[in-house]
Amino acid sequence: MKPMTITLALTGASGMPYGFRLLQCLTEMEEVSIQLLYSQAAQIVISQETRLTLPARPSDAKETLGKALGINTNRLRVYGREDYLSPVASGSNPSNAMVICPCSMGTLAAISQGLSDNLIERAADVMLKEQKKLILVPRETPLSAIHLEHMLRLAKMQAVILPPSPGFYTHPQTIADLIDFIVARILDHLGLTHALIPRWGENKAQEIQAGASLQTQG
Protein backbone atom coordinates (compact mmCIF):
# COMPACT_ATOMS: atom_id res chain seq x y z
CA MET A 1 0.00 0.00 0.00
CA LYS A 2 1.33 3.45 -0.92
CA PRO A 3 2.22 5.50 2.19
CA MET A 4 0.15 8.52 3.10
CA THR A 5 2.24 11.63 2.41
CA ILE A 6 2.10 14.43 4.96
CA THR A 7 3.80 17.79 4.51
CA LEU A 8 4.83 19.34 7.82
CA ALA A 9 5.93 22.97 7.87
CA LEU A 10 7.56 24.77 10.79
CA THR A 11 7.29 28.57 10.78
CA GLY A 12 8.41 31.38 13.06
CA ALA A 13 5.75 31.23 15.76
CA SER A 14 6.22 30.09 19.33
CA GLY A 15 5.21 26.48 19.90
CA MET A 16 8.00 24.52 18.25
CA PRO A 17 7.65 21.60 20.73
CA TYR A 18 4.25 20.91 19.11
CA GLY A 19 5.86 20.60 15.69
CA PHE A 20 8.70 18.41 16.94
CA ARG A 21 6.35 16.08 18.82
CA LEU A 22 4.14 15.79 15.74
CA LEU A 23 7.20 14.93 13.66
CA GLN A 24 8.16 12.24 16.17
CA CYS A 25 4.69 10.68 16.02
CA LEU A 26 4.53 10.75 12.23
CA THR A 27 7.91 9.06 11.83
CA GLU A 28 6.70 6.23 14.08
CA MET A 29 3.85 5.44 11.66
CA GLU A 30 4.92 3.04 8.94
CA GLU A 31 2.02 4.09 6.72
CA VAL A 32 3.20 7.72 6.63
CA SER A 33 5.82 9.49 4.54
CA ILE A 34 6.81 13.00 5.71
CA GLN A 35 7.94 16.02 3.73
CA LEU A 36 9.40 18.66 6.04
CA LEU A 37 9.69 22.39 5.33
CA TYR A 38 10.95 25.10 7.65
CA SER A 39 11.39 28.85 7.44
CA GLN A 40 14.37 30.96 8.44
CA ALA A 41 12.32 32.43 11.28
CA ALA A 42 11.55 28.88 12.44
CA GLN A 43 15.28 28.25 12.83
CA ILE A 44 15.48 31.21 15.21
CA VAL A 45 12.48 30.05 17.26
CA ILE A 46 13.83 26.49 17.38
CA SER A 47 17.09 27.72 18.87
CA GLN A 48 15.18 29.78 21.47
CA GLU A 49 12.64 27.15 22.51
CA THR A 50 14.58 23.91 22.16
CA ARG A 51 18.23 25.04 22.18
CA LEU A 52 18.69 23.05 19.01
CA THR A 53 20.46 24.62 16.06
CA LEU A 54 18.77 23.52 12.86
CA PRO A 55 21.10 23.84 9.85
CA ALA A 56 19.99 25.63 6.71
CA ARG A 57 21.04 22.78 4.42
CA PRO A 58 18.17 20.23 4.22
CA SER A 59 20.41 17.15 4.35
CA ASP A 60 22.14 18.47 7.48
CA ALA A 61 18.80 19.39 9.04
CA LYS A 62 17.51 15.86 8.47
CA GLU A 63 20.54 14.36 10.19
CA THR A 64 20.32 16.83 13.08
CA LEU A 65 16.63 16.13 13.68
CA GLY A 66 17.18 12.40 13.51
CA LYS A 67 19.78 12.54 16.26
CA ALA A 68 18.09 15.19 18.43
CA LEU A 69 14.61 13.66 18.37
CA GLY A 70 15.67 10.03 18.15
CA ILE A 71 13.56 9.42 15.07
CA ASN A 72 13.82 7.15 12.06
CA THR A 73 14.40 9.43 9.07
CA ASN A 74 13.99 6.78 6.36
CA ARG A 75 10.57 8.15 5.37
CA LEU A 76 11.48 11.79 5.99
CA ARG A 77 12.36 14.20 3.19
CA VAL A 78 13.50 17.74 3.98
CA TYR A 79 13.31 20.52 1.39
CA GLY A 80 14.82 24.00 1.27
CA ARG A 81 12.50 26.99 1.40
CA GLU A 82 13.23 27.92 -2.22
CA ASP A 83 13.23 24.38 -3.66
CA TYR A 84 10.46 24.85 -6.20
CA LEU A 85 11.38 21.57 -7.92
CA SER A 86 10.21 19.62 -4.87
CA PRO A 87 6.94 17.62 -5.12
CA VAL A 88 5.06 19.94 -2.74
CA ALA A 89 5.37 22.84 -5.19
CA SER A 90 3.03 21.35 -7.77
CA GLY A 91 -0.59 20.28 -7.86
CA SER A 92 0.44 17.36 -10.07
CA ASN A 93 2.12 15.70 -7.06
CA PRO A 94 0.42 17.03 -3.91
CA SER A 95 0.67 15.57 -0.43
CA ASN A 96 -2.39 13.91 1.05
CA ALA A 97 -2.42 16.63 3.70
CA MET A 98 -0.35 19.50 5.07
CA VAL A 99 0.14 20.74 8.62
CA ILE A 100 1.76 24.06 9.50
CA CYS A 101 2.72 23.72 13.15
CA PRO A 102 3.37 26.20 14.56
CA CYS A 103 1.88 28.66 12.11
CA SER A 104 2.96 32.30 12.34
CA MET A 105 0.51 35.10 11.70
CA GLY A 106 2.65 36.20 8.76
CA THR A 107 2.38 32.77 7.14
CA LEU A 108 -1.34 32.64 7.88
CA ALA A 109 -1.86 36.04 6.26
CA ALA A 110 0.19 35.13 3.19
CA ILE A 111 -1.77 31.92 2.63
CA SER A 112 -5.06 33.77 3.14
CA GLN A 113 -4.10 36.23 0.40
CA GLY A 114 -2.89 33.56 -2.01
CA LEU A 115 0.76 34.58 -1.89
CA SER A 116 3.51 32.10 -2.76
CA ASP A 117 6.71 33.91 -1.85
CA ASN A 118 8.35 30.76 -0.46
CA LEU A 119 7.89 27.00 -0.63
CA ILE A 120 5.75 26.81 2.51
CA GLU A 121 3.26 29.31 1.15
CA ARG A 122 3.26 27.64 -2.26
CA ALA A 123 2.71 24.19 -0.74
CA ALA A 124 -0.26 25.54 1.25
CA ASP A 125 -1.64 27.17 -1.88
CA VAL A 126 -1.42 23.80 -3.64
CA MET A 127 -3.38 22.16 -0.82
CA LEU A 128 -6.18 24.69 -1.15
CA LYS A 129 -6.45 24.60 -4.91
CA GLU A 130 -6.30 20.80 -5.02
CA GLN A 131 -8.88 20.59 -2.22
CA LYS A 132 -6.55 18.64 0.06
CA LYS A 133 -6.55 18.92 3.84
CA LEU A 134 -4.65 21.91 5.22
CA ILE A 135 -4.28 22.19 9.00
CA LEU A 136 -2.99 25.42 10.51
CA VAL A 137 -1.86 25.60 14.14
CA PRO A 138 -1.66 29.36 14.81
CA ARG A 139 0.09 30.40 18.02
CA GLU A 140 -0.56 34.02 18.97
CA THR A 141 -2.40 35.81 21.74
CA PRO A 142 -4.38 37.99 21.85
CA LEU A 143 -5.74 37.83 18.34
CA SER A 144 -6.39 41.03 16.43
CA ALA A 145 -9.30 41.54 14.05
CA ILE A 146 -6.84 41.10 11.18
CA HIS A 147 -5.77 37.69 12.51
CA LEU A 148 -9.38 36.61 12.95
CA GLU A 149 -10.35 37.78 9.47
CA HIS A 150 -7.54 35.75 7.92
CA MET A 151 -8.58 32.68 9.92
CA LEU A 152 -12.21 33.06 8.88
CA ARG A 153 -11.20 33.46 5.24
CA LEU A 154 -9.14 30.25 5.39
CA ALA A 155 -11.84 28.37 7.30
CA LYS A 156 -14.27 29.24 4.49
CA MET A 157 -11.75 27.63 2.11
CA GLN A 158 -12.04 24.43 4.20
CA ALA A 159 -8.70 24.83 5.96
CA VAL A 160 -8.69 23.51 9.54
CA ILE A 161 -7.81 26.20 12.08
CA LEU A 162 -6.50 24.33 15.12
CA PRO A 163 -5.13 26.68 17.81
CA PRO A 164 -2.88 24.95 20.37
CA SER A 165 -5.40 25.26 23.21
CA PRO A 166 -5.19 22.05 25.25
CA GLY A 167 -8.10 20.68 27.25
CA PHE A 168 -7.74 19.68 30.88
CA TYR A 169 -10.29 16.85 31.21
CA THR A 170 -7.42 14.40 30.65
CA HIS A 171 -5.81 15.68 33.87
CA PRO A 172 -2.42 16.56 32.38
CA GLN A 173 0.50 16.24 34.78
CA THR A 174 3.34 17.54 32.60
CA ILE A 175 3.99 19.95 29.77
CA ALA A 176 4.45 16.87 27.57
CA ASP A 177 0.84 15.89 28.35
CA LEU A 178 -0.38 19.31 27.18
CA ILE A 179 1.66 19.02 23.99
CA ASP A 180 0.31 15.54 23.31
CA PHE A 181 -3.26 16.81 23.61
CA ILE A 182 -2.75 19.14 20.65
CA VAL A 183 -0.75 16.65 18.63
CA ALA A 184 -3.51 14.10 19.19
CA ARG A 185 -6.11 16.48 17.76
CA ILE A 186 -3.91 17.09 14.71
CA LEU A 187 -3.52 13.35 14.16
CA ASP A 188 -7.30 12.95 14.49
CA HIS A 189 -7.85 15.44 11.68
CA LEU A 190 -5.27 13.62 9.58
CA GLY A 191 -7.23 10.40 10.10
CA LEU A 192 -4.28 8.69 11.77
CA THR A 193 -4.67 6.24 14.66
CA HIS A 194 -2.91 7.04 17.91
CA ALA A 195 -3.12 6.48 21.66
CA LEU A 196 -1.65 9.75 22.91
CA ILE A 197 -4.54 10.77 25.17
CA PRO A 198 -7.69 9.22 26.64
CA ARG A 199 -10.80 10.25 24.75
CA TRP A 200 -13.82 11.92 26.29
CA GLY A 201 -16.25 9.35 27.63
CA GLU A 202 -13.78 6.45 27.60
CA ASN A 203 -12.76 6.90 31.23
CA LYS A 204 -15.49 5.50 33.50
CA ALA A 205 -14.14 7.27 36.57
CA GLN A 206 -14.31 10.51 34.63
CA GLU A 207 -17.96 9.86 33.77
CA ILE A 208 -18.83 9.13 37.40
CA GLN A 209 -17.06 12.28 38.57
CA ALA A 210 -18.81 14.40 35.96
CA GLY A 211 -22.19 12.90 36.91
CA ALA A 212 -21.62 13.60 40.60
CA SER A 213 -20.67 17.17 39.79
CA LEU A 214 -23.91 17.68 37.82
CA GLN A 215 -25.98 16.25 40.67
CA THR A 216 -24.32 18.63 43.12
CA GLN A 217 -25.00 21.58 40.84
CA GLY A 218 -28.59 20.50 40.38
pLDDT in tens, 94-144: 999 999 999 999 999 999 999 999 999 999 999 999 999 999 999 999 999
Counting residues of the chain whose pLDDT is more than 70, the rounded percentage is 92
Residues 6+ apart with CB under 8 A from 202: none
User: In this structure, what are the phi and psi dihedrals at residue 100, rounded to the nearest 5 degrees?
Assistant: -110, 110
Average pLDDT over residues 167-190: 96
d(CA 201, CA 203): 6
Residue 3 confidence class, pLDDT cut points 50, 70, 90: confident
**Superfamily the domain 4-217 falls into:** Flavin prenyltransferase-like (3.40.50.1950)
Residue 177 confidence class, pLDDT cut points 50, 70, 90: very high
pLDDT of 218 strictly over 80: no
Quick one: which of 152, 116, 159, 112 has its CA closest to 136?
159
Average pLDDT over residues 6-26: 98
pLDDT of 201 strictly over 70: yes
Residue 148 confidence class, pLDDT cut points 50, 70, 90: very high
Q: What is the pLDDT of residue 205?
A: 56
Q: Domain locations in the chain?
A: 4-217
pLDDT in tens, 37-67: 999 999 999 999 998 999 999 999 999 999 9
| Burial letters 121-147, b for 16+ CB under 10 A, else e | bbbbbbbbeeebbbbbbbbbeeeeeeb
Q: What is the pLDDT of residue 213?
A: 57
Residue 212 confidence class, pLDDT cut points 50, 70, 90: low
The alpha-carbon radius of gyration of the chain (Å, integer) is: 18
Q: What is the pLDDT of residue 214?
A: 56
Counting residues of the chain whose pLDDT is more than 90, the rounded percentage is 87
Q: What is the pLDDT of residue 203?
A: 67
Q: What is the pLDDT of residue 22?
A: 98
d(CA 183, CA 201): 19
